Structure 1
Amino acid sequence: MRLSYLLFVCFLVLYLAPAGHAQNQQQRDTTLIVYTGQLTGAYSRGGVSRMLATTTQAVTFTRGQHYGLPLTGSFIYGKQDGFLKERELLLNATPYYYKGRFRAYALGGYEISNLRGITSRVQLGAGPGWAFYSDTLGREVSVSNLLIREKTNFRDGTARLTTRNSARLKVSYSRSVVTLSSITFYQPSVVDFGDYRFSNLTTLALKLPRKFSVNFSYNYTHESRVIEGRFPDNTNVTVGVAYSTTR
């Protein structure tokens, strides 16, 4: 079902996007900075008392016609019936070089997860990518495939060091005041395909005046191997407000 949905979105973007804006038109000597900040939350009381707050911060630097540096960070904090459930921190830097439709990526990542009992996870990697479509409005259909080295320390004192293949599908489309974006990862270990992660983040944004927007987000993650007492699946559906600016 998820694969069919992603394929449908890809074909929709390729069909609707005008052919005349297929490549980045930024000047050779310019630097562009795009910032986006998002805050979402949920609160409920009754049979189950739950509080959830999330924030996502992203800054993307592009230099000339060939270089980019996206920096992203997210933090999730949640309690259920007074007990801490979610305290999730994720930081990523993905510098890249692009020429035409070709992309070359590097990756540096750091993660903490109370849900999965992870005290620290560090990732380093690199690999190629290809943009089937991209334009100056941020609309894009692209894939990438990185080889990453990953070290994870768990709360029970164990640690895991592995090499993963990280395949990513990115789809982004905007028209008028509506923006739809979806990023999907599949990350199996290269030595044990039973050890894998799958995740999808889909966001629908409705633009408001003064650079604000209302965001509806669906975030699903599955990790095949977790420590005892932790759940392999996690799903969050949130509504919040985002602010973005370009300089």
Structure 2
Amino acid sequence: MLLLLLSVVPAYAQRPDTTIIRYVGQLTGQYTSGGVNRTLLATTHSVTFLRGQHFGAPVSGSFTYGKQDRLLKEREILVNATPYYWLGHFRAYGIGGYERSNLRGIANRIQLGLGPGWAFYTDSLGREVSVSNLFIREATYFQDGSQRIVSRSSLRLRVVYSKGVLALNSTTFYQPNLEGFGDYRINQLTTLALRFTTRFSITANYTYTHESRVLEGKPNDNTNVTVGVAFSTK
């Protein structure tokens, strides 16, 4: 939601034995009038803790609020923590996630899991191409009172690329139910940023979600394109 070849493997930069904290915050929005009057606001925040040469702990959260014809249609909250250990190309990930979605009728969703990953490309500028596959346990409580508890495989492709004032960050998830691959979820988030200072940038976000099983009357697909600004620290 690619521009690099997975076969490229450069040398790794050595990170000093210290603690680094990085923050990125974005505020984006969309307004449409005519056949359908729509207002959408979204904000995302991420904090990454890096310790020494082997440990990292990204924590990210997003909130989306949208109206169509002055009626509330979208109100979504998503929080994820993905601590990891890396050694060379190898990664070992853990994950903890929480989600609420008015659009998809989700009152609460909780995810816990762990699994391996592999970085095909990484460099001192933060550019990266990596793949991971986590095994997660997921509990979903729907707004109609029903619930589902399943085990899933979570395959993730992550691409981070930058050149000059342009930066691309793309993450794609494919999450099938281990008891039946006809039950699956696809999430895709792509952010393109144009930096106009060292800390501020203009961003365009594309998000896509597909769930094969949803409540009756709820859409299987949800797509948003928003434009806004971002603030980051080094």
Say whether 1:26 aligns with 2:15: yes
Q: TM-score, normalised by structure 2?
A: 0.96
Q: TM-score, normalised by structure 1?
A: 0.91
d(CA) in 2 for partners of 1:26 and 1:244?
Answer: 20
d(CA) in 2 for partners of 1:41 and 1:200?
Answer: 18
> Residues 210 and 179 of structure 1: is their aligned pair in 2 closer, same or farther, counting only changes over 3 Å?
closer
Residue aligning to 1:223: 211
- 1:193-228 Cα deviation digits (max 9, x unpaired): 111001111111111115100111111110000000
d(CA) in 2 for partners of 1:145 and 1:47?
Answer: 42
Supply the AA of the counterpart residue of 2:16: Q
* Structure number having the greater strand percentage: 2
Supply the AA of the counterpart residue of 1:186: Y
Say whether 1:194 aligns with 2:182: yes
d(CA) in 1 for partners of 2:60 and 2:197?
Answer: 24
Cα deviation for residue 41 of structure 1 reads 0.7
Q: 1:10 aligns with which of 4, 13, 29?
A: 4
Cα deviation for residue 14 of structure 1 reads 6.3
Task: Report the identity percentage.
Answer: 62
SS in 2 for 1:115: coil
- Count the aligned residue pairs: 234
SS in 1 for 2:180: coil
- 1:44-66 Cα deviation digits (max 9, x unpaired): 33332111000000000100000
Q: Which moved more, 1:212-221 or 1:116-125?
A: 212-221
d(CA) in 1 for partners of 2:197 and 2:175?
Answer: 39
Q: 1:128 aligns with which of 116, 119, 128?
A: 116
1:24 and 1:65 in contact (8 A); partners too = no
SS in 1 for 2:4: helix
d(CA) in 1 for partners of 2:32 and 2:75?
Answer: 18
Say whether 1:237 aligns with 2:231: no
d(CA) in 2 for partners of 1:40 and 1:143?
Answer: 28
Note the 1:88-107 alignment, pairs <5 A: 88-107=76-95
Residue aligning to 2:50: 62
d(CA) in 1 for partners of 2:188 and 2:12?
Answer: 26
Cα deviation for residue 164 of structure 1 reads 0.1
Deviating beyond 6 angstroms after TM superposition, the runs of 4 or more aligned structure 1 residues are none
> Residues 245 and 14 of structure 1: is their aligned pair in 2 closer, same or farther, counting only changes over 3 Å?
farther
Residue aligning to 2:65: 77
Q: Which residues of structure 2 form unaligned runs of 5+?
A: none
Aligned-CA RMSD value: 1.4
* Structure number having the greater helix percentage: 1
SS in 2 for 1:137: coil
SS in 1 for 2:182: coil
SS in 2 for 1:25: coil
SS in 1 for 2:145: coil
Residue aligning to 1:153: 141
Supply the AA of the counterpart residue of 1:56: T
d(CA) in 1 for partners of 2:15 and 2:138?
Answer: 35
